Structures are given as structure tokens and as C-alpha cells.
Amino acid sequence: MTTETLDRDRVRELFDLRGAYLAAMGGAYTDDPYPVWHRLREEKAVHEGTVHELTGYPGPAMFSGLPFPDRPHFSVFSYAACDEAYRNPDVFASSPEPVDPVHGEPGALNSMLSMGGVQHRRYRALVQPSFVPAKAQWWIRNWIEQTVHLLIDGFAGDGRAELNVDFCAAIPVLTITGSFGVPVEQALDIRAALRDPRRIIEMIAPIVAARRREPKDDLISILVQAEMTDEDGVVHRLSDAEINSFAFLLLAAGSGTTWKQMGITLTALLQRPSVLEEVRRDRKLLKPAIEESLRWMATDPMFSRYVMRDVDFHGVRLPAGSVLHLCIGAANRDPARWADPDTYDIHRPLRASFAFGGGAHVCLGMHVARAEMTVGLNALLDRLPGLRLDPDAEPPRFIGMYERGATEIPVVFS
């Protein structure tokens, strides 16, 4: 594999939060939302309205559970309330209606992401073994490590680089498309087509057909060989439509979240040179540095659930049919769970956060994401001595409403 055909300008177009591709998710939001979220949480755990409206951002801001103007909307800001919602999927469902990946409209929302109960468990069990911690080395060996070092090769001799788009953004999209057998020159086409599921189907159909004939050591081969027992006890292999449903979800999640979280972690460390030096000297600190960034600034700070019956929830009556938005960004800085929650502290005692969601739908790819960030950041520290923010360039800022991340991360090194 080479990255010579990776169009850097197109990477920037597709992965800049301020660009047109991500504008609908609130990429134009440049304020710090946490003071507002703290105030809202102190007032009460549940508020009527959407997260972006309550934060003071007029939009547009589309994301999980939005827009649905015909439904009442409520938002949750405390850790305890988010935890309770995640633990009660019968009342707070991931989809307001049944999901049919075989006959339904193709797309990420008509996939395992929106399934519940037995259906969700059945589909998730097919791919879960490829995403457990013990499988991380499979991902690292086959795709992550090679991608990371090829990217660094492209700027290691320059003494300076922009690491958010030219490094962080490229790693996950090349990892997930590589695991599908998609060549580098088509990786960005896949990313660009995520809003056009039928175009995705056209691009991966030849790969699915080829893997049915001759499986390889990749993710599509695992899907075409997977066997599932349906509700009647009949064992069958996945149809093309079912494989496509997995593909939409994995491509959307795999190329759209980790790059922002890696950029957030890298920026947090570069803004704190003494902490960066600690991590450089003792690489065991990289794990807590990553986990702390996940808590401190989750890249997707809100996910939603659909209220399936009337319920009294933390002092608020939620009618059936309403949408409950879980502001996990606020929950992850709840002082009831973490002391001094606004401080990025890699030495704080580790407690689970909602950075990867919660309940049965906890992120399938979280261990791959951690592997990408660990390999990528370790390689930067190994290969770029004296890594620091470029003092002559505009420093990175954190922006975005429903997809948060850093702007450019300009660095110099010796």
C-alpha cells in the first residue's frame, strides 16, 4: 500500500469541521459549550429542548435523533440520568420503529446501530469477535501500523507538519477501507459517498462478490462467511443487503470519529508541554492520556434515544414518541462523578465514561479506535523528536457542536 494517491486537498474538504461536508452537524460552532452545559446540569438533569438550542446555537445542527420537528425533544445533562437511559432500552430505544436491513432503505440508520433486543444481539454477535481487545493486533498488523508510518514518511524530513488532517484524519479512513479491501485511491470516494448509500453499494459490491468466491484475511471475508441463526432456528449466511448494512455502519463510524478524538488528544498534550514530555518519557502514560481525552472532550458529545412509553424521568414527564438527547459531553464532566472535571488530568483515577456510549450499544469499534490512537501517537513521539506546536502558526482550537474536534494542528520538530 502507498499513500501517494491520497488527495490532501480532498482530505481537508471531507474532514475539516468547518467545511461544507460537516456543516450540518454544527461545524460552525466555535464557543466552549461546557460552561453552559454545567449551568444546565446544575439547574436540573433533564431540560425540554435539543442540546444545541439549549446551548444557544441556532443551527443547523443535525445528528442522532434530529431533526424530527413533529416530536417533543428533551435533553439530559447528568451522568446518572444518561446512565439510567442507557440501561433501560425498552423505554429509551435506539430506533422508534423496527429495523429491516434486508428490505429497508439502505443506510447506517437501517443497521445494527438502530436495532434493539434479540435482533441487535444476534447481528452484533457476528462481528463482535473481530473487535475485541485480543483482536487489536490483527488490525495493527494488517492496516494501522503500515498506514501510520507511511503517513509520517511523507513529512518526517520537513521539520514541520499539519497533523490533524494530514495525519489524524487519514489513519481511520485508510484503516477501515483497507479492512474492506478498498484501494487507497478509492478510500476518499467511500468517505464522500456516505450520504449516498447506493453509491457505497456500487463500490463494495465487486469486493463482496470476490470474497464470496475467495475469502481473504479481511473484514468483508468475515462477513460473507458469517452464519446467523434466525428466530425460527434456521442457520443462514448474510445476504448482500445485510452485509451492506454492516458496511454503512462500520464505514461511517470508522472514518468519522477516531480522527477527531486523536486530534483532541494530540492537541491536549501539545498545549501542555510538560505533560507531553511525561508521556514521551513514560509511554505507559499514553493510555491514561487517551482515556482522559475521551472523558474530557468526547468527539460526539450527544446521542439520542426514542421514548417508547410515557415515563417520569428525573422529575420530568416524557411523553411516548418524544426524543431524549443524551449529552454525554456534559455527563462526562459531571462533578458528582469526577473531581475537578474541567481539568485534563492524565493522573486522575480511571473511571468509565460515556465517550463510547453505553449499554448494549457501546461502540463496537472502541478497541480499534484505541489501537489507532495508541499506534499513531506513539509513532509521532518516536519519530518526531522535539515535537511541539509551531510558534509561528495559529494554534489549534476546539470547535463543533455535535461533532467536536480540533482545527489545524501545526507542529515543528527537529
Residue identified by cell 411523553 is 319
pLDDT computed for residue 192 by the predictor: 85
Q: Does the pLDDT at position 323 exceed 70? A: yes
Q: Does the pLDDT at position 230 exceed 80? A: no
Report the C-alpha gap between 163 and 169 in whole angstroms: 8
pLDDT digits (tens, 9 = 90+) for 159-210: 999 999 889 998 998 999 999 998 888 888 888 888 888 888 899 999 999 9
Bridge partner list, 316: 313
| Side-chain half-sphere CA neighbours of 60 within 13 A | 12
pLDDT digits (tens, 9 = 90+) for 278-308: 999 999 999 999 999 999 999 999 999 999 9
pLDDT digits (tens, 9 = 90+) for 138-159: 999 999 999 999 999 989 999 9
Q: Which residues contact 296 (CB under 8 A, 6 or more apart)?
A: 268, 332, 333, 344
Looking at CATH, the fold of the domain delimited by 8-412 is given as Cytochrome p450 (1.10.630)
DSSP state of 390: -
Give this prediction's pTM. Answer: 0.93
Picking from 405, 326, 400, the residue whose alpha carbon sits closest to that of residue 24 is 400
pLDDT computed for residue 324 by the predictor: 98
For residue 128, count other CB atoms closer than 10 A to its CB. Answer: 12
Residue spans of beta strands (DSSP E) within 235-346: 235-237, 303-307, 311-313, 316-318, 323-326
Q: Does the pLDDT at position 2 exceed 70? A: no
Q: What is the number of helices (H) and of strands (E) in the chain?
A: 18, 14
User: Hey, where are the domains in the chain?
Assistant: 8-412
* Helix/strand/coil for 399: strand
Take residue 395 and report the three cell numbers written for it: 494554534
Q: Are 81 and 330 in contact (CB under 8 A)?
A: no
* Helix/strand/coil for 84: helix
Q: Are 117 and 91 in contact (CB under 8 A)?
A: no
Q: Are 375 and 396 in contact (CB under 8 A)?
A: no
Strands 398-399 and 316-318, by their bridges, are: unpaired
